[in-house]
Amino acid sequence: MMRYLYLLLTMVFFYACSSTDYTNRSQLMLLNAEEEITLGEQSAKEILKSAKISKNATQTKKVERVGSKIASVANRPDFKWEFYLLEDAQTNAFCLPGGKVFVYTGLLELVSNDDELAVILSHEIAHTILRHGAERMSMQNIRQIGGSLLGLIVQSQAPEYTSLFNQAYNIGSNVGIMLPFSRSHELEADKVGITLMQKAGYNTKAAITFWQKMAAKGKGGSDFLSTHPSDTKRIQAIEEILNHK
């Protein structure tokens, strides 16, 4: 069984390995680009059915203007870019595969100028062109397959420990693999987002001022058991990136 598991995982990594744009990092990808875009389009339709679109024409045009400039340098001609401002107090934004970008009005309260808005939009667009969502889905599938096969081994060899193994595996793989994986995605999106900002002609130093505002609004603290890096670590990483630009 262990030999079978090893061979299966080796084959998956061999045949499903690709590399990211801009950073050229190897990544596991079980979903092709067309499938990913289809999922993104479906998700966008579902969101628009229930979301409340902002009626603030000035803010909406601002999001569209800055977003379009970022999208123009993202090198994804297969995306049909659209930008939406949603009436919601959350400080959040996201971009779906295919180019549908959503910004919450609560986030704009922290934005002082176009440069800081570009920080948000370039970061979210970077996530999508780096295919982070599809990569996480792929890793989650491998995690589930690995856990199931190892669980069968434990069950056949020491059935009394099956429940304990399942709990330990879920906690260990989440804390040891999935959470650090998500944090590394955030920092990679920061790096590529700054590159997109620079290409689009925005002041990249705004990345520091914006994340300082986010840090002041949030509680900061440790990045353990979190999908995002701590505010301090993120700002330090951005400063290092800007020093090499």
How far separated are the first and last CA of the chain, in Å rounded?
50
Tell me how far apart the alpha carbons of residues 162 and 224 are, in angstroms, rounded to a whole number.
27
| CA 7/CA 116 separation, integer angstroms | 48
Residue 155 to residue 160: CA distance in whole angstroms: 8
Active site residue 124: yes
Cβ atoms 86, 103 nearer than 8 A: yes
Residue 60 main-chain phi, psi, to 5 deg: -60, -45
Any residues with CB less than 8 A from the CB of 14 and at least 6 apart, and which? none
Tokens of residue 215, six digits: 């840090």
Environment class of residue 117 by beta-carbon count within 10 Å: exposed (0-12), middle (13-18) or buried (19+)? buried
Residue 104's DSSP bridge partners are: 86
Answer yes or no: are the C-beta atoms of 185 and 229 closer than 8 Å. no
Catalytic residue among 124, 135, 186, 188: 124
Active site members: 124
